[in-house]
Amino acid sequence: MKIHIKNGHLIDPKNNIDAKQDVYIAAGKVAGIGNAPDGFVANQTIDAAGLIVAPGFVDLSARLREPGSEYKATLRSELQAAAAGGVTSLACPPDTDPVLDEPGLVEMLKHRAKQLNLAHVYPLGALTRQLAGKLLTEMCELTEAGCVGFSQADTSITDTQVLWRAFEYAATFGYTIFLRAEDHYLAQNGVAHDGEIASRLGLKGIPAAAESLAIASILRIAHETKTRVHLCRLSTAEGVDLLRQAKKQGIQVTADVSAQHCHLTDHDIGFFNAHANLKPPLRSSRDKNALCQGLKDGTIDAICSDHTPVDDDAKLLPFAEAEAGATGLELLLPLTLKWAADQKTSLSEAVAKITCHPASILGIASGHLGVNADADIAIFNPQQEWKVSASQLKSQGKNTPFLGLTMLGKVRYTLLHGQVTYQA
Amino acid sequence: MYNPQLDADGKLKHLLTIEGLPKKILTQILDTAETFVGVAERDIKKVPLLRGKTVCNIFFENSTRTRTTFEIAAKRLSADVINLNVGTSSQSKGETILDTVDNLIAMHADMFVVRHGQSGAAHFIAQHVPDNISVINAGDGRHAHPTQGLLDVFTVRRYKPEMHNLRVALVGDVLHSRVARSEIHALTTLGVPEVRVIAPKTLLPAGVEKLGVQVFHDMKAGLRDVDVIMMLRLQNERMSGALLPSAQEYFKTFGLTQEKLEFAKPDAIVMHPGPMNRGVEIDSSVADGHQSVILPQVTFGIAVRMAVMAILAGGQSSGGSTGGSA
Amino acid sequence: MQLPDPEALLTDITARIQAQLAANGPSNSALVGIHSGGVWLMQRILKSIKQDVAYGTLDAALYRDDYAQRGLKAEPKPSQIPFDVQDKHIILIDDIFYTGRTTRAAMNELFDYGRPASVTLAVLINRGGAELPILPNIVGAEILLKPHQSLQLSQDTKGKLHLSLETN
């Protein structure tokens, strides 16, 4: 199968390309950029006039709900959502049921995903068994089965001795640890940013310090144990500051922010809108601005969708009882573009936050379109408007605070291994 | 700004929280309540306003006291009353809030009085009932208890009619108190210029001063020249632990005694939403003293709840108009 | 249309109310004004009869049959019946008698205070159009009006009464 993508504007931040260039694909790989390789005869031509051609997006956090929560979503529905969102590689956190703490489960997940052939799935293995924060998992075995890093998902390791040893052990083999920094006790039972809104609405707050305290200990341990650590879904201004200092000191740390947190604050909870119940909680506008700024100056490396499909029943409850999370794979592109527009930064910068940067954090070869790279490609119209609606979303989860709003930027084609997996 | 409690004409449709309600509506409720105070003093303590209507008390959290006052209020308006204590039955069997509510809608109830342990539960129910049903929040988590807030300002207005010239202090567990939040909004909306909160830092929510109150951590300074003292209830489970070391120490530092009462104006009134913990947040001699208006609060509570129900029911069938009928 | 002078009508009904009081005995009687016009009239009557007689006011809003359509008034006035209604001869006073529905509501409310010995209805004007088997006993004047017309009693700052007719 040979594909010629013509007339498109190619943005490939890793290879410093931001120009009108044709892309030639053969045998699932990029065969040429700009000029056709010798003797290239396309079986299929995609006319990308007026469209942006970019590497397929790499998402650092997407819950696929398999195994265990197929009533919320299935691998098929969510990988279709990934394709519709231009996401060709995604990391999934280990908080499935059962938890991804055994090589067999990881192999099964990889196998199922491969059969569907809609996106590359990179599981993050559990750092501790059952995510209970007590016993280490078989990290080498899990890596062999396909894990690209180790995570605690939304739970924290409260025992600092265990945390320290987990870091040491991972560092032994050069594994990356993915942690969402949150002090377990300060965050306990909290559902909203501890500020004016939570006080008015009578919701139990999670102080910003729950994040900064945890980041401070994680960074210290990472420094002492020389472990590579990735901070997932930063939410506070203090967190961004700590990260900035740590990077200056040369600590091996990277971080991401969820696309939701680049745009929303605790004000968006409104009158107890359960779709705005997220983990970490939506914080103040000061925090939101610091996150956007941190992304711009490179302190924060990547934007993730934090895709968390939730069934209607689990959202049709009073705010604090509703399950946290938002569906996000299909919103990753427009929300990233909006961040770039708000910050007056380039399209290339925006694309980098969802392609080469997250790919390098995961240690995978994707995220760019150099010759011989995998032909994982997203072709999108950055100016196309569309309305977020339950019927429009491919994800089985229809839960998003952006429901009913108009988005700017729509994926038109997604290619995985040089095969079209989505076309609008 | 959109307010889910008001209909398109700005009339009260549900009573979910005092926050965001215009002064005009609060005043209308208080003035209407004045007409109902007299009803309770008559031989026949009943008016036919809600004849044929069904009021449903849905209590996901038990409270015999609050439920009773709503029940009396509804009955004095001639409504039929159904009491449902869901806390102990359906919820434990896995029925969701909406299942319970849908069942009551199918029974043609006209008004729901809802109490729930989660903040926002009343808003949630109001969003899911058909147009002809009104929802009254009888307390949701830490969020709001609007009829309590209204009866408290009704009591204040009765004893201290010069609302724009008052200094009011709320004392105690503001953090967990829906009553405090409703009182603060009611007082500030009605133009009380100075509302204070007095509590240890562990019992104050983040950013409490953004609600328009002054914060004190000391009874002597906080009560100085105050006209009204509103005590808050301290829940048993919070008396000793990480929030407070002991009930004894709390009483010593923040309990209202005759001695501390003297920091306030000599004619200050003392209020409490009940039930009281004597010897924890308030001394018996103060609770039963001549400055206490705690029992009148209970009496006024019924009139205020009657007023709220009457106003909500009056707006329910908006169509049709009968001309002059003098 | 030439409207009668309300002050003259008031003098007339005051005399007849006084006669009624004398017949029943002032200590067994009470005056009850219906808000707002009826209360103004009652206050004037009390002033001119110079007699010690029990009195009260009714709003009757809580007893109206059109409540479901119209809701409550924005500024309700409390009813005040500070005497024992039981076995009293009550003279209800209203300004304009029209459908009879206000009278019905007022009587229902009155009976919730006790069982009066008798109820007499005194009005300044009967404008015709009763919809219930209720008629005033003491009437200042009868003026037949069309449904789209509206007759209003008002009181100026000096306490003088005025009638005005509006056509909708």
**ipTM given for this complex:** 0.91
CB contact B309 to C (< 8 Å) = no
pLDDT above 70 covers a percentage of chain A that reads 100
* Catalytic-residue membership of A374: no
Cβ separation C80–B38 shorter than 8 A: yes
In this structure, what token pair is assigned to residue C115? Answer: 């069982």
C46 exposed, middle or buried (CB, 10 Å; 0-12, 13-18, 19+)?
Answer: middle
A269 inside domain: yes
A21: Cα separation from own chain's centroid:
28
Cβ separation B325–C150 shorter than 8 A: no
CB contact C80 to B (< 8 Å) = yes
In this structure, what token pair is assigned to residue A351? Answer: 């694309």
Would you kindly state where each structural domain of chain C is located, as residue ranges?
A: 6-167
Q: Tell me the nearest-neighbour CA distance from B261 into chain A, angstroms.
A: 28
Residue A303 β-bridge partners: A257
Catalytic residue among A12, A256, A287, A306: A306
Query: Which range is least confidently modeled, B65-69, B141-145, C29-33, C68-72?
Result: C68-72
In this structure, what token pair is assigned to residue B234? Answer: 């301290």
A222 inside domain: yes
CA dist C146 → C98, C128, C164 (Å): 11, 9, 15
Question: What CATH number does residue A221 fall under?
Answer: 3.20.20.140
Identify which of B24, B31, B42 has the shortest CB distance to residue C113: B42
A378 inside domain: no
Cβ separation C72–B314 shorter than 8 A: yes
Instruction: Give the mean pLDDT of A179-199.
Output: 97
Contacts of B40 in chain C (CB under 8 A): none
Q: Tell me the nearest-neighbour CA distance from C92 into chain B, angstroms.
A: 14
Cβ separation B326–C79 shorter than 8 A: no
Spatial distance between the Cα atoms of A353 and A134, rounded to a whole number of angstroms: 34
Contacts of C64 in chain B (CB under 8 A): 325
pLDDT over threshold 90, residue C116? yes
CA dist B222 → A64, A265, B208, B262, B285 (Å): 54, 34, 15, 12, 21
Cβ separation B28–C75 shorter than 8 A: yes
∠ CA(B277), CA(B279), CA(B284), 5° rounding?
90
CA dist A387 → A390, A404, A410, A411, C124 (Å): 10, 6, 10, 13, 66
CB atoms within 10 A of CB B131: 9
CB contact A195 to B (< 8 Å) = yes
Q: Tell me the nearest-neighbour CA distance from B10 into chain C, angstroms.
A: 13
Give every strand in the sheet of B194-198, ordered side by side: B214-216, B194-198, B167-171, B228-231, B269-271
Subunits with 3+ Cβ pairs within 8 Å of A are B
Q: Tell me the nearest-neighbour CA distance from B166 into chain C, angstroms.
A: 24
Cα dihedral angle (A316, A318, A321, A326), rounded to 10 degrees?
Answer: 50
Q: Would you say A279 and A324 are in contact if contact means Cβ atoms under 8 Å apart?
A: yes
Identify which of B11, B317, B326 has the shortest CB distance to residue C69: B317
Spatial distance between the Cα atoms of B152 and B147, rounded to a whole number of angstroms: 8
The model's pLDDT over A396-406, given as tens digits with 9 standing for 90+, comes to 999 999 999 99
CB contact C126 to B (< 8 Å) = no
Subunits with 3+ Cβ pairs within 8 Å of C are B
Cβ separation A319–B119 shorter than 8 A: yes
Phi, psi of A207 (to 5 degrees): -65, 150
pLDDT over threshold 60, residue A140? yes
Cβ separation C68–B325 shorter than 8 A: no
Ranges of residues in chain B with a pLDDT under 70 are: 1, 88-94, 315-326
Cβ separation B44–C113 shorter than 8 A: yes
Contacts of C101 in chain B (CB under 8 A): 325
- Contacts across the B-C interface (CB distance below 8 Å): 80
CB contact A185 to B (< 8 Å) = no
Computed from CA positions of residues A17, A23, A24, A25, in that sequence, does the dihedral angle turn out positive or negative?
positive
Q: Tell me the nearest-neighbour CA distance from B207 into chain A, angstroms.
A: 5
Chosen for mutation from A236, A272, A287, A317 (greatest number of chain B CBs closer than 10 Å) is: A272
Contacts of B123 in chain A (CB under 8 A): 271-272
A241 inside domain: yes
Residue of C nearest to B45 (CA): C112
SS3 A175: coil
Cβ separation B28–C59 shorter than 8 A: no
- Which residue has 């409550």 as its token pair? C72
Cβ separation C94–B310 shorter than 8 A: no
Chains C and A touch (3+ CB pairs under 8 A): no
Please tell me the pTM assigned to this model: 0.89
The model's pLDDT over A57-91, given as tens digits with 9 standing for 90+, comes to 999 999 999 999 988 999 999 999 999 999 999 99
B52 exposed, middle or buried (CB, 10 Å; 0-12, 13-18, 19+)?
Answer: exposed
Spatial distance between the Cα atoms of B71 and C42, rounded to a whole number of angstroms: 37
The model's pLDDT over A19-47, given as tens digits with 9 standing for 90+, comes to 999 999 999 999 999 999 999 999 999 99
Q: Tell me the nearest-neighbour CA distance from B1 into chain A, angstroms.
A: 11
The model's pLDDT over A246-265, given as tens digits with 9 standing for 90+, comes to 999 999 999 999 999 999 99
Residue B116 β-bridge partners: B140
C54: Cα separation from own chain's centroid:
16
A389 inside domain: no
Residue of C nearest to B76 (CA): C62
CB contact B37 to C (< 8 Å) = yes
What is residue B316's predicted lDDT score, i.e. its pLDDT?
Answer: 56
A7: Cα separation from own chain's centroid:
30
Nearest Cα neighbor of B283 from B255, B260, B261 is B255
Identify which of B97, B143, B210 has the shortest CB distance to residue A201: B143
Q: Domain range holding A278?
A: 56-362
Q: Would you say A179 and A158 are in contact if contact means Cβ atoms under 8 Å apart?
A: no
Cα dihedral angle (B278, B281, B284, B286), rounded to 10 degrees?
Answer: -160
What is residue A339's predicted lDDT score, i.e. its pLDDT?
Answer: 98
CB contact B321 to C (< 8 Å) = yes
SS3 B224: coil
Computed from CA positions of residues B241, B247, B248, B251, in that sequence, does the dihedral angle turn out positive or negative?
positive
In this structure, what token pair is assigned to residue A291? Answer: 């996150």
Spatial distance between the Cα atoms of A42 and A1, rounded to a whole number of angstroms: 8
Give every strand in the sheet of A9-12, ordered side by side: A17-20, A9-12, A52-55, A377-387, A406-416, A419-423
The model's pLDDT over A339-371, given as tens digits with 9 standing for 90+, comes to 999 999 999 999 999 999 999 999 999 999 999
Total residue length of chain A: 424
Q: Would you say A374 and A366 are in contact if contact means Cβ atoms under 8 Å apart?
A: yes
Subunits with 3+ Cβ pairs within 8 Å of B are A, C
Which positions in chain B have a beta carbon within 8 angstroms of at least one beta carbon in chain A?
Answer: 4, 19, 96-98, 116, 118-121, 123-124, 128, 140-144, 178, 181, 205-208, 210-211
Spatial distance between the Cα atoms of B27 and B189, rounded to a whole number of angstroms: 10
A411 inside domain: no
CA dist A87 → A90, A117, A376, A386 (Å): 7, 12, 9, 18
Spell out the residues 6+ positions from residue A79 whose beta carbon is closer than 8 angstroms to its own. Answer: A64, A113, A116, A118, A119, A121
Phi, psi of A286 (to 5 degrees): -60, -45
Chosen for mutation from A200, A206, A321 (greatest number of chain B CBs closer than 10 Å) is: A200
- Contacts across the A-B interface (CB distance below 8 Å): 71
Q: Would you say B207 and A195 are in contact if contact means Cβ atoms under 8 Å apart?
A: yes
Q: Is the peptide bond between A67 and the residue preceding it cis, with omega within 30 degrees of 0?
A: yes
Spatial distance between the Cα atoms of A321 and A318, rounded to a whole number of angstroms: 5
pLDDT over threshold 60, residue C70? yes
- Which residue has 């079209």 as its token pair? A420
Spatial distance between the Cα atoms of C120 and A304, rounded to a whole number of angstroms: 81
Residue of B nearest to C97 (CA): B326
Number of Cα atoms under 13 Å in the Cβ half of residue A194: 17
Fold of C6-167: Rossmann fold (3.40.50)
Spell out the residues 6+ positions from residue A50 whose beta carbon is closer than 8 angstroms to its own. Answer: A7, A381
Q: Tell me the nearest-neighbour CA distance from B170 into chain C, angstroms.
A: 30
Q: Would you say A174 and A144 are in contact if contact means Cβ atoms under 8 Å apart?
A: no
Cβ separation B48–C147 shorter than 8 A: no
Q: Tell me the nearest-neighbour CA distance from C51 into chain B, angstroms.
A: 27
What is residue C68's predicted lDDT score, i.e. its pLDDT?
Answer: 66
A208 inside domain: yes
What is residue B320's predicted lDDT score, i.e. its pLDDT?
Answer: 33
The model's pLDDT over A40-50, given as tens digits with 9 standing for 90+, comes to 999 999 999 99
Cβ separation C94–B326 shorter than 8 A: yes
∠ CA(B230), CA(B21), CA(B52), 5° rounding?
95
